[in-house]
């Protein structure tokens, strides 16, 4: 190379060792050490400080010496365990992002019964797999506060995020990779800062590029007006909400919240496929300050959107007692989209034979059917407190993840109302977007009827089950447990008993264009009105109902091939799995199957 002599390290008579620097050249603002070509004694130096040299120029003359210098040449100049000042500075700054640097804040957090953000992430992520992004970021408030203060009190700008493995021991490192993001309530109440938004942008882009699921711990107070050093006016050009919304339908999105979650934090939470919340949570699109600023009164944060409200109205999918249970539920939910489990067990399937009462009018708990069919402890019910007429859950059959949707005869006799239809339609979208086959357990007299039902816009809500059911491409199986009447039964079969990969009934099954009792009352009105004696009229009515039941009995319907089969309840798992195994595997894809999963 060409360069300028920046230093001559030896002079005539000095001993030099092969490989050790003798001259330093400066070229293109960089200093280059020129090593001795051999071991010996310097005879003469041909250059001086400041001289310009070119390739091939002589720098010095060395007379070769004797002796073995291998030990000298192999000696290590520095201790590999030594900490240089530049590294020490980095390590010190990194240490200030840890919980140990904020003992008082951690103590306050624990006193309130909560874990820190890093404690939750440590519980969620497989040991040693979390790679953090932007740990050294601080709040954009340098014009108001000293940097030392910001480093100590606004670690990571209140947003901890990175990539990690979750459930790697079960599904392998490749299948278990995901993006994890957590607001840190110990930093400015978990509010959304300028650098935090930029971090989310970075992580959400990575999630889209590599198709990684996202787990979001959303506790926090929304936008942060105190970031006065940020180069922005409104902040409305931030990309986080658009980027996160674009992930819907591409990868599983899991939202977890304990404590308070308002405004922008709640908006991100609401984009998630599933929301897991603790009982002490309060979730709202506006916190107390914004409510008061709007002239709508003063409220305690826990009054805005307590879990008792948000679970009952369908916002919360899974309600748990504390953060430990929340993390466990998040890991369980992620697992359904990470693969099959090799080990599984199930209840004695013969017990299913006795779940449905012989009295066709007697109510039973449909969840006992769901739990009995599924692998032991594999069921995770979603939105259990909302729309109780429809049970939606994800579970496993012989380790294979499936969605399960069931009418609940304990609510409105299993009739499908507006809320139940919304719950079912959205669940089908979720399963279809991520290629989960679905088992539909039908026991419904049809859709809900009457003026009160129609005030809920039922015509539109109920029809969602038809348009969504007709659009899914996942394999699904319909099992008629007992009642399968009218449009409600068709909706529980994707629009027709012919659209499922298999439509079967248990021996207790009964089907028809409408409920038996209603059909008799309408179809035989004249005959019933002609009978003047009340006792005789009731006897006629009972005979007609019995005749209608015999006609609509599943066993009779199967002889007309309106059902694929009537089966022993104990064989249900075997039948479902046989059909799912014969269905083609989902084609590998890099993009979305559906534009998004409805947030509602």
CATH of the domain at 287: 3.90.226.10
CA dist 469 and 44 (Å) reads 90
Q: How confident is the model at residue 258 (pLDDT cuts 50, 70, 90)?
A: very high
Domain assignment present for residue 593? The answer is: no
Is it the case that residue 324 has pLDDT exceeding 50? yes
User: Of all helices (H) and strands (E), which one includes residue 453?
Assistant: helix 451-454
Mean pLDDT of 284-307: 90
Do 38 and 145 lie in a common domain? no
- Going through 17-98 in order, the beta strands assigned E by DSSP cover 21-27, 30-35, 40-45, 52-53, 60-64
Q: Which domain holds residue 12?
A: 3-67
Give the global pTM: 0.89
Do 143 and 194 lie in a common domain? yes
Domain assignment present for residue 60? The answer is: yes
Domain assignment present for residue 475? The answer is: yes
Do 217 and 286 lie in a common domain? yes
CA dist 124 and 134 (Å) reads 19
Is it the case that residue 69 has pLDDT exceeding 80? no
Mean pLDDT of 451-460: 92
Domain assignment present for residue 84? The answer is: no
Domain assignment present for residue 14? The answer is: yes
Give the pLDDT score at 68: 46
- Give the residues across from 416 on adjacent strands: 447
Give the pLDDT score at 74: 43
The tens digit of pLDDT for each residue in 362-381 reads 999 999 999 999 999 999 99
CA dist 26 and 52 (Å) reads 9
Mean pLDDT of 96-121: 95
Do 168 and 195 lie in a common domain? yes
Do 172 and 200 lie in a common domain? yes
- Please tell me the total count of domains within the chain: 4
Mean pLDDT of 103-112: 95
Q: Kindly report the backbone phi and psi dihedral angles of residue 512, in degrees, each rounded to the nearest multiple of 5, phi listed first.
A: 175, 170
How far CA 139 is from CA of 186, 224, 232, in Å, comes to 13, 10, 14
CB 227 within 8 A of CB 191: no
The percentage of the chain sitting over the pLDDT mark of 90, rounded to a whole number, equals 78
Give the pLDDT score at 352: 97
Do 53 and 112 lie in a common domain? no
CA dist 55 and 586 (Å) reads 63
Tokens at residue 110, please? 């624990």
The percentage of the chain sitting over the pLDDT mark of 70, rounded to a whole number, equals 98
Do 399 and 295 lie in a common domain? no
User: Of all helices (H) and strands (E), which one includes residue 324?
Assistant: helix 323-336
- Give the residues across from 553 on adjacent strands: 510
Do 458 and 490 lie in a common domain? yes
Is it the case that residue 55 has pLDDT exceeding 80? yes
Give the pLDDT score at 181: 98
Mean pLDDT of 127-153: 93
- Going through 204-342 in order, the beta strands assigned E by DSSP cover 214-217, 253-257, 260-262, 274-278, 282-284, 318-320
Local structure of residue 220 (DSSP, 8 states): B
Most confident segment among 10-19, 280-289, 318-327? 318-327
Is it the case that residue 388 has pLDDT exceeding 90? yes
Domain assignment present for residue 304? The answer is: yes
Domain assignment present for residue 365? The answer is: yes
Do 207 and 304 lie in a common domain? yes
Mean pLDDT of 432-454: 94
> What is the per-residue burial (b if ≥16 Cβ within 10 Å, else e) of 117-143?
bbbbbeebbeeebbebbbbebbbbbee
Do 241 and 299 lie in a common domain? yes
Q: Which of 67-71, 97-101, 147-151 has the lowest mean pLDDT?
A: 67-71
Is it the case that residue 72 has pLDDT exceeding 60? no
Last residue of some domain: 290, 305, 336?
336
Domain assignment present for residue 344? The answer is: no
Is it the case that residue 288 has pLDDT exceeding 60? yes
Q: Which long-range contacts (CB under 8 A, 24 or more apart) does 297-306 make?
A: 301/260, 301/262, 302/260, 304/262, 306/281, 306/282
Q: Mean pLDDT, the chain, as a whole number?
A: 92
Mean pLDDT of 328-355: 96
Do 468 and 529 lie in a common domain? no
Do 409 and 429 lie in a common domain? yes
Mean pLDDT of 117-125: 97
Is it the case that residue 440 has pLDDT exceeding 70? yes
The tens digit of pLDDT for each residue in 467-477 reads 999 999 999 99
Local structure of residue 416 (DSSP, 8 states): B
CA dist 474 and 456 (Å) reads 30
Is it the case that residue 73 has pLDDT exceeding 60? no
Mean pLDDT of 36-65: 90
**What is the three-state SS of 536-593?**
HHHHHHHHHHHHHHHHHEHHHHHHCCCCCEECCHHHHHHHHHHHHHHCCCCCCCCCCC
């Amino acid at each position: 190379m060409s360069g300028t002599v920046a230093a001559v390290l030896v002079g005539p008579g000095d001993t030099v060792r092969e490989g050790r620097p003798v001259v330093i050249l400066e070229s293109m603002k960089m200093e280059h050490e020129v090593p001795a070509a051999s071991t010996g004694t310097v005879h003469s130096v041909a250059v001086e400080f400041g001289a310009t040299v070119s390739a091939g120029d002589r720098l010095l003359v060395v007379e070769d010496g004797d002796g073995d210098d291998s030990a000298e040449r192999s000696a290590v100049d520095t201790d590999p365990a030594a900490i240089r000042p530049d590294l020490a500075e980095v390590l010190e700054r990194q240490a200030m992002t840890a919980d140990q640097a904020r003992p008082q804040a951690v103590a306050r957090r624990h006193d309130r019964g909560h874990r820190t953000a890093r404690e939750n992430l440590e519980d969620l992520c497989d040991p040693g797999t979390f790679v953090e992004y932007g740990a050294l970021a601080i709040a954009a408030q340098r014009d108001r506060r000293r940097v030392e203060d910001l480093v100590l009190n606004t670690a990571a700008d209140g947003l901890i995020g990175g990539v990690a493995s979750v459930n790697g021991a079960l599904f392998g490192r490749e299948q278990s990779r995901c993006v994890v993001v957590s607001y840190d309530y110990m930093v400015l109440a978990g509010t959304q800062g300028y650098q935090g938004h930029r971090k989310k942008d970075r992580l959400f882009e990575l999630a889209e590029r590599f198709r990684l699921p996202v787990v979001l711990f959303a506790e926090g107070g929304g936008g942060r007006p105190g970031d006065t050093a940020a180069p922005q006016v409104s902040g409305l050009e931030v990309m986080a909400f658009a980027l996160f919304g674009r992930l819907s339908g591409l990868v599983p999105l899991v939202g977890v919240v304990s404590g308070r979650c308002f405004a922008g934090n709640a908006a991100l939470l609401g984009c998630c496929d599933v929301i897991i919340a603790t009982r002490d949570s309060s979730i709202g699109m506006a916190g107390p300050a914004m409510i008061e600023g709007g002239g709508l009164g003063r409220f305690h944060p826990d009054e805005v959107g307590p879990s008792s409200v948000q679970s009952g109205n369908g916002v919360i999918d899974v309600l748990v007692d504390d953060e430990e249970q929340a993390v466990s539920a998040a890991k369980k939910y992620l697992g359904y989209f990470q693969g099959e489990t090799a080990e599984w067990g199930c209840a004695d399937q013969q017990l299913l034979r006795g779940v449905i009462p012989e009295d066709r009018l007697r109510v039973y708990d449909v969840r006992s059917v769901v739990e009995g069919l599924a692998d032991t402890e594999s069921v995770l019910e979603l939105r259990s407190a909302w729309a109780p007429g429809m049970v939606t859950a994800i579970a496993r059959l012989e380790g294979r993840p499936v969605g399960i949707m069931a009418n609940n005869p304990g609510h409105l006799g299993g009739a499908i109302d507006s809320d139940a239809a919304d719950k079912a339609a959205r669940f089908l979208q979720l399963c279809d977007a991520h290629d989960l086959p679905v088992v539909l357990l039908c026991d419904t007299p049809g859709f809900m009827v009457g003026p009160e039902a129609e005030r809920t816009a039922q015509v539109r809500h109920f029809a969602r089950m038809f348009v969504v059911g007709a659009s899914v491409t996942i394999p699904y199986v319909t099992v008629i447990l007992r009642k399968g009447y009218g449009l409600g039964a068709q909706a529980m079969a994707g629009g027709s008993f012919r659209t499922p990969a298999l439509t079967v009934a248990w021996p207790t099954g009964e089907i028809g264009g409408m409920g038996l009792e209603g059909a008799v009352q309408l179809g035989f009105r004249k005959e019933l009105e002609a009978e003047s004696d009340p006792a005789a009229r009731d006897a006629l009515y009972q005979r007609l109902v019995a005749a209608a039941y015999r006609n609509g009995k599943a066993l009779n319907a199967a002889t007309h091939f309106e059902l694929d089969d009537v089966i022993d309840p104990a064989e249900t798992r075997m039948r479902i799995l046989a059909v799912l195994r014969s269905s083609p595997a989902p084609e590998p894809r890099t993009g979305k199957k559906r534009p998004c999963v409805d947030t509602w």
